[in-house]
Structure 1
Amino acid sequence: MTKAAVRAHTNIALIKYWGKADETLFLPMNSSLSLTLDGLYTDTFVEISDTFTEDQFYLNDVLQSPEETAKISRFLDLFRNKAGITHFIQVKSINHVPTAAGLASSASAFAALAGAMNRATGLNMDLETLSTYARRGSGSATRSLFGGFVEWQKGTSSEDSMAVPVDDASWDIGMVIIAVNKSAKKISSRIGMKQTVETSPFYPAWVASAEEDLLAIKKAIKARDFEKVGQITEHSAMKMHGSMLGAETPIIYFEPDSIKAIHAVRALREQGILCYVTMDAGPNVKVLCRLSEAGKIKEMLREYFSEEQLLISGPGQGIRPLTAQEAAEYNWQL
C-alpha cells in the first residue's frame, strides 16, 4: 500500500508529562497517563510515489513552508529508513483541533501521521512499537495511538519508552473543554519544558510526585473511584504549573479566564457536582467529570462562557484507518 489515511484522537494528560530527559529522542523525565477524547481529532493522508520530486506537507489544505515541511520530513525519515524506501511523500492533514493552543493538536497530528505511514509503508508495526515512533514527532502522540486511559511509560531507551493501554474508560467518564483562547500559545511546550527543567528549583519535586501520582491514579482507575481520579488529576496539573512558575523567567500560561474557569469548577464542587480541572501548556481548561453530568456542567458554565467556548467529549478510541468514503469527503483518493 502506498496510500493510507488514518484518524487519531487527541488525548489530555491527567498525570502530566513535562520535561525531556533526551531532547533528540523525546524521552520524558517522568511517566504519564492520559484520557483519549472523541471530540477532538486529526485525519491524515499520505501518499508515497516515485513521481514526487520533494516532500509536501499540507495542513488544513494549506501548503506549509519549507521549514515546517522539513520537520515533517525528519519524522517521515524514521519510517523510510525502517522500510528501506527513498521515495518522496505527500502528507495532507486536517486538524479538528485548534493548532498549538494547548489542546493537544500535536498528539493527534503525529499519531495520525505515524499510523498512516505504518500502513502506507507496509511496516504494520504493533501499536506499542509504533508508539515509540510517534513519540519522536510529539511526546504526547505516543498516547493517542490508544483509546481510553493510556500510560506512557518513560522507559530507559528509545525502544522501551512507549504507550500501553490501561482502561477503556467506559464507566461514565467525560470532559467539558473550556476554550479560553484558541490562538497559538506564545511560549511553545518545547521551550517551556526546557526552561522549567533547567531553572526551576521546584522541578525535582514535580518529577518525584508525578511518579507517586501515577501509581495512585492507576489504582483509582482500577477501582473506578472517580472522585480519587479527579483529585489526583487536578493536583497533578497545578503542581506542573507550579513548577513552571518557579522557572527563571516564570512561565505563565494562565489567562484571566483560566482563573475564572477554575473558580467556576470549584463552585460547582461546592454544590455537590464532582468535577475537576486540568490544564496543559496553554490557557484552556479541561473539566474531568462524569459524562452523564457533562451536559448539566456545560449549562452551568454558560453563566461564565459562551456556547462556542464549551465542548463536551466522551472517551475516544485509538487510531483507525479512514474508510474510502470518509477520505473522499476531503477529496483524498485511497
Structure 2
Amino acid sequence: MKKVEASAPSNIALVKYWGKRHTKLNLPLTSSFSVSLTNMRSHATITEASGTEDEWDIHGNPSKAQKVLACARAATQDERPLKISIVNDFPSGAGLASSASSMAAFALALNSYLADDAFDLETISHWSRLGSGSSVRSLYPGYVLWDAGTDEEGKDCVAHTAFAASHMPLSLVVCVVDDQPKPIGSTAAMERSRDTSPLYDEFHANNEQYLQEALDAVKNKDFYKLAEISESNCQAMHAVMQASQPPVNYFKTGTKQAIEHVQKMRQEGIPCFFTIDAGPNVKIFCTPEAKDEVHERCKSLSDVKHLLLDQVSDDSPAS
C-alpha cells in the first residue's frame, strides 16, 4: 500500500498582514515577511482509504484541509479516497501558526501521493493557501517574503526566500501563555477589524515602509533595527484589533508579563525582541549567543505555562 509522509515548519511573521483582499482564495491585502523555524513542525501522512470515503485524523475541523485536497484533485484528476493524518508537534490554534505548517505539510504530501512530486513549490503554495494563507511562507526556508500580488486569482501571490537563515542567525524562545484554541479565529477577527476598526487603513498604508525597513535591517545584519520594526509592526497590528468593535484582544496576563520581561532584558543589554500573532503567546527572538540566558530568565515568569526553543532554519520544508 502506498504511503507518503511530509512535514513543514511553523513560520513567524516579523512584518505581518492583517486583512484579506479575497477571503475565499485567502489572498492577503498586503505583503508580509517571516522566518521559518526548525523544531515546531506539522506532519502529514497519506495512505489509501479502506472504504469509498476520505478518512480524516486531524486536529479540529477538516474543512481547511478539504479545500486543499479539492484543489490538488482538480490539478491531478485523481479522485481516489484517501486516509489522511495531520499532526502538530506544538500547540494547535493558539497563535503559533499551526494552520500554516499543517496545510503546507498536507499540500506537500498531496503532491507526492497524487502527482509523484510533479508540481513545483509555487503551484503547491496555491493549493496550501486555500487552507491557510500564511502556509505559503512555511514552504520556504530562512527569511521569507510573501508578495500579496495584484492578480484577481492570486497567480502572483507567491513567496520566496529573501535571505538564508545563516545570513543573520536568530534563536527563538516561545512563552506559551495559553495552549488552548483561541476564542476567535484569525479570518473572523480580520473581517471584524476591516469592518469596524478606525486604524485598519492606516496599518495597511504603512505596510510597504515596514517591509522595506525590515528587509534592509536583515540585509545589513542590524539586529536592533529589526527588533524595532518587528515590535512596532506587532503593536500596530494589535492596536487595529483592539480598536475593533467589539475589541479583539488576545492578550492575557502572561502576555503582558512576557512583553515587560523582554523590555527589561533589552534595557540590560540582552539582544532580544518580541512579536505576537493572533493569540496570547509571545515569541522572543534573540541572537544565538543570548538564547540560553533568555531561556533561563523566562523560567521565572509566573504566568507562562512553558517554554519552547527554536531557531530560524535553512532546511527546506519540502521534507
1:139 alignment counterpart: 133
1:35 alignment counterpart: 35
1:59 alignment counterpart: 58
Q: Is the 8 A contact 1:48 1:120 kept in 2?
A: no
Answering whether residue 97 of structure 2 is matched by residue 104 of structure 1, we say yes
2:113 alignment counterpart: 120
Aligned residues: 314
- For residues 163 and 257 of structure 2, the distance between their equivalents in structure 1, rounded to whole angstroms, comes to 32
Answering whether residue 157 of structure 2 is matched by residue 161 of structure 1, we say yes
Distance 1:191 1:210, change over 3 A: same
What one-letter code is carried by the residue in structure 2 that aligns with 1:121?
A: L
What one-letter code is carried by the residue in structure 1 that aligns with 2:165?
A: A
**Cα shift at 1:48:** 4.5
What one-letter code is carried by the residue in structure 2 that aligns with 1:135?
A: R
Residue segments in structure 1 that go unaligned for 5+ positions in a row: 322-334
- For residues 130 and 278 of structure 2, the distance between their equivalents in structure 1, rounded to whole angstroms, comes to 19
Q: Is the 8 A contact 1:9 1:318 kept in 2?
A: no
**Cα shift at 1:300:** 1.3
- For residues 131 and 17 of structure 2, the distance between their equivalents in structure 1, rounded to whole angstroms, comes to 15
**1:92-151 C-alpha deviation (Å, 9 max, x unpaired):** 112112110111100110000010011111252221232122111101111000111101
Distance 1:278 1:5, change over 3 A: same
Answering whether residue 88 of structure 2 is matched by residue 95 of structure 1, we say yes
- For residues 99 and 3 of structure 1, the distance between their equivalents in structure 2, rounded to whole angstroms, comes to 25
What one-letter code is carried by the residue in structure 2 that aligns with 1:159?
A: K
**1:159-215 C-alpha deviation (Å, 9 max, x unpaired):** 111111111211331111000111111111111111011111100110111221011
Distance 1:257 1:308, change over 3 A: closer
Distance 1:175 1:69, change over 3 A: closer
1:227 alignment counterpart: 224
**Cα shift at 1:307:** 8.8
- For residues 252 and 304 of structure 2, the distance between their equivalents in structure 1, rounded to whole angstroms, comes to 19
% same residue: 34
2:76 alignment counterpart: 83
Distance 1:294 1:306, change over 3 A: farther
Q: Is the 8 A contact 2:175 2:305 kept in 1?
A: no
**Cα shift at 1:306:** 8.1
Structure 1-normalised TM-score? 0.90
Answering whether residue 313 of structure 2 is matched by residue 304 of structure 1, we say no
1:320 alignment counterpart: 318
- For residues 133 and 64 of structure 2, the distance between their equivalents in structure 1, rounded to whole angstroms, comes to 15
- For residues 319 and 3 of structure 1, the distance between their equivalents in structure 2, rounded to whole angstroms, comes to 19
**Residue 247 of structure 1 is aligned with which of 233, 236, 244?**
244
Structure 2-normalised TM-score? 0.94
| Aligned CA-pair RMSD | 1.7
Q: Is the 8 A contact 1:9 1:37 kept in 2?
A: yes
Deviant stretches of 4+, over 6 Å: none
- For residues 70 and 280 of structure 1, the distance between their equivalents in structure 2, rounded to whole angstroms, comes to 22
Answering whether residue 56 of structure 2 is matched by residue 23 of structure 1, we say no
- For residues 69 and 48 of structure 2, the distance between their equivalents in structure 1, rounded to whole angstroms, comes to 11
What one-letter code is carried by the residue in structure 2 that aligns with 1:97?
A: F
1:328 alignment counterpart: none
2:171 alignment counterpart: 174
**Residue 266 of structure 1 is aligned with which of 263, 267, 287?**
263
Residue segments in structure 2 that go unaligned for 5+ positions in a row: none
**Cα shift at 1:2:** 5.2
Distance 1:177 1:70, change over 3 A: closer
